[in-house]
Amino acid sequence: MTSALRSVAVAVPIASELYLNRELGLLEFNRRVLAQAEDPAMPLLERLRFLCILSSNLDEFFEIRVAGLKEQINGNAPSAEPDGMPPRKVFGMVAQRAHELVERQYRLLNREILPGLAEQGIRFLRRSGWDEAQRAWVKEFFFGELMPMLTPIGLDPAHPFPRVLNKSLNFAVELEGRDAFGRSSGTAIVQAPRVLPRVIPLPRDIAGCEYGFVFLSSILHAHVGELFAGMAVRGCYQFRVTRNSDLFVDEEEVKNLRIALQGELPQRHFGNAVRLEVADSCPPAMTEFLLQQFNLAAEDLYRVDGPVNLVRLMQVPDRLDRPDLKFPFFLPAPLPGLNKRRDIFEAIRKQDLLLHHPFQSFQPVIDFILLAATDPQVVAIKQTVYRTGAESVLMEALVEAARNGKEVTVVVELLARFDEEANINWAGRLEEVGAHVVYGVVGHKTHAKMAMVVRREEQGLRRYVHLGTGNYHSRTAVAYTDFGLFTCREGVCADVNEIFTQLTGLGRAGKLQHLWQSPFTLHQQMLRAIRNEAQQARAGRPARIIAKMNALLEPEIISALYAASQAGVKIDLVVRGVCALRPGMAGVSEHIRVRSVIGRFLEHSRVFYFYNAGAEDVYLSSADWMDRNFFRRIETCFPVLDKRLKRRVINEGLKPYLKDNRQAWEMDDTGCYRKRTARRAKPYSAQLALLELFTGKLSA
């Protein structure tokens, strides 16, 4: 280790033992999510919601990360990660930890969450406990709503095992006897309709409680025999398969990316299987049969004591009028100074404006585009779109602006994972009304969050821009923490215009005055800022780095942080998700602390602070410190130039997270996390404090 430590400050790549594994780090993050559901102080329906979030996270983890591991193993590829751990070893550790997570998840569901909900009059009625009225209601539902949509498939030479959709609910049915044609294969597959909810509400008088639900799987179990007249059902077992969902489009070969992607999207449902989930009652012979059908091994099998897809329970809290079991409702605070008499352009001309979501409303961002769409003085609108949702007032405003004759240019990222279909649809609608739609740059996802409005005013054309750390998505704006900045500073606006010109045209990248941009300057500027702090520390001057992000993985940045720590720079990293840096190692990173904050809101903002000899530079960014963000994406990192707003970012976006002793987790040099506790200090939650600051609400 000694030689490795000496090389940290001068060479990249550094020794593999100084990096933590990405996949294992992602599972550690999901342990912290599960801990939210395990917390008895959390409102009960929110505990259920966190269980569902965990399932959703694990789904994507298997669809993308585990799928990638399996491809590396099958191709005998060496490790692609800086930690150097062989893919097969990583997969073995991932499988062990994922199984432990899932076992804890279902134990919590069955021992605490469901019994706790039942005490509150919210019951999930099991087949074994149905009374006569409930059985009659279920039977009527089956014949009226479910059976007409079912297509049972008996397995025989003419009916091979069906193509099972990714993450769909299916049932393997064991049968005895012969059908009308004399066939007796003994096995059939029934696929549950995707259009039906997985949790069915019962009328209150039938349920016998305030809220009663029946799982769709229970209804089908109870009446599956109706699908196989004259045959005896010996067993019915729910299962779900997760498939590789990483799309591949050779952008250099295709002539039209949108058309190519439309052809590729349907195949996402039928990628190679990576995980099989089955009910714990499924016998060994049936599980072995299913594993063979999907070309999976025993370590890919996850037996669960309950529904195989907890994600579909996410709808339950939203359907219940039980505010006592949820986080208190809050209205995001309005932007001070804006009212019906004063439009947002006038406000921006007066001074830069900062929005801190979700504590402050996203409505000014929507109003920015809505007003631009109808303002006769506005001549052009340009915007990037990464995630925006299938329904979006903001996107409708862009459509309206194009109809009104504005020059509308939209850079749509078609390869935004799991949002491809929505983005394709919006691209089509925008093109239909005459907007200029481009898909960014081949080989580089457009992840920057930028909007620019050009107005004709008395002094000539003036540009107004919005830059953000989060997406132009109204729903996530009330669930994710993000910053957004409005400005009409000419230097910043010129930089934004230059980036739009790069994205829509051809030519060399121009020099930017204020913004740092991937893939050109962001990485080198971050390294320069980190190394500058190290230089200050070596000279005996104060030096400080605080950085908040979603992930930290890029090796050269980690190397620079290690070197800065060795120089004596105090470094605080608030990393919500995976972090490959090892903090607190003597001689390497003893001046670095890493923490993660998990709470009501998803921490999503990227904030970077450098003391810089007292200048206290503050940057907001769309980019995490990952290879892809620095080298394979179009990203922006923009300074907060207004001193008043800079102080706000420090006081709202950084200091509360360093003070948090309720929802913060501290990382050790092995990659494990310990939740901070308020021993002598007063309990303090960053998110709760910000809610109280902006809205007066006291629950995070």
Can the peptide bond before residue 40 be classed as cis, meaning omega within 30 degrees of 0?
no
CA 550 vs CA 193, 301, 604, 621, 622: distances in Å: 36, 30, 6, 11, 10
Cα(394)–Cα(341) distance, rounded to whole angstroms?
Answer: 22
Give the single-character DSSP code of 100.
H
Q: Long-range contacts for 453-456 (Cβ within 8 Å, ≥24 apart)? A: 453/345, 453/368, 453/369, 453/372, 453/378, 453/380, 453/381, 454/378, 454/379, 454/380, 454/381, 454/407, 455/345, 455/375, 455/377, 455/378, 455/379, 456/377, 456/378, 456/379
Residue 45's nearest CA partner among 311, 330, 315, 359 is: 315
Which residues have a Cβ under 8 Å from the Cβ of 658 and sit 6 or more positions away? 546, 572, 574, 595
Relative orientation angle of helices 132-141 and 216-223, to the nearest 10 degrees: 90
Asked if 221 is an active-site residue, the reply is no
Are 622 and 468 in contact, with CB atoms under 8 Å apart?
yes
Are 482 and 605 in contact, with CB atoms under 8 Å apart?
yes
Cα(652)–Cα(630) distance, rounded to whole angstroms?
Answer: 26
SS3 of 584-647: CCCCCCCCEEEEEECCCCEECCEEEEECHHHCCEEEEECCCECHHHHHCEEEEEEECCCHHHHH
Tokens of 114: 């469901």
Q: Are strands 602-603 and 480-487 parallel, antiparallel or unpaired?
A: parallel
Count the Cβ atoms, other than its own, within 10 Å of residue 314: 16
Are 403 and 483 in contact, with CB atoms under 8 Å apart?
no
Beta strands in 112-186 (DSSP E): 122-124, 153-154, 170-176
Cα(69)–Cα(87) distance, rounded to whole angstroms?
Answer: 6
Cα(676)–Cα(373) distance, rounded to whole angstroms?
Answer: 48
Residue 417, judged by CB atoms within 10 A of its CB (0-12, 13-18, 19+), counts as middle
CA 190 vs CA 127, 214, 239, 387: distances in Å: 19, 19, 10, 35
Is the C-alpha dihedral spanning 278, 283, 287, 290 positive or negative? Answer: negative
Cα(559)–Cα(162) distance, rounded to whole angstroms?
Answer: 50
> CA gyration radius for the chain?
27
Tokens of 241: 């398969």
* Identified catalytic residue from 447, 466, 523, 604: 447
What number of residues does the chain have?
Answer: 700
Tokens of 159: 């009916």
Are 531 and 639 in contact, with CB atoms under 8 Å apart?
no
Cα(135)–Cα(283) distance, rounded to whole angstroms?
Answer: 27
Count the Cβ atoms, other than its own, within 10 Å of residue 395: 25
3-state helix, strand and coil shares in percent for the chain, rounded to the nearest 5: 40, 25, 35
Q: Are strands 378-385 and 407-412 parallel, antiparallel or unpaired?
A: parallel
Phi, psi of 606 (to 5 degrees): -110, 115
Are 438 and 411 in contact, with CB atoms under 8 Å apart?
yes
Which residues does the annotation mark as catalytic? 447
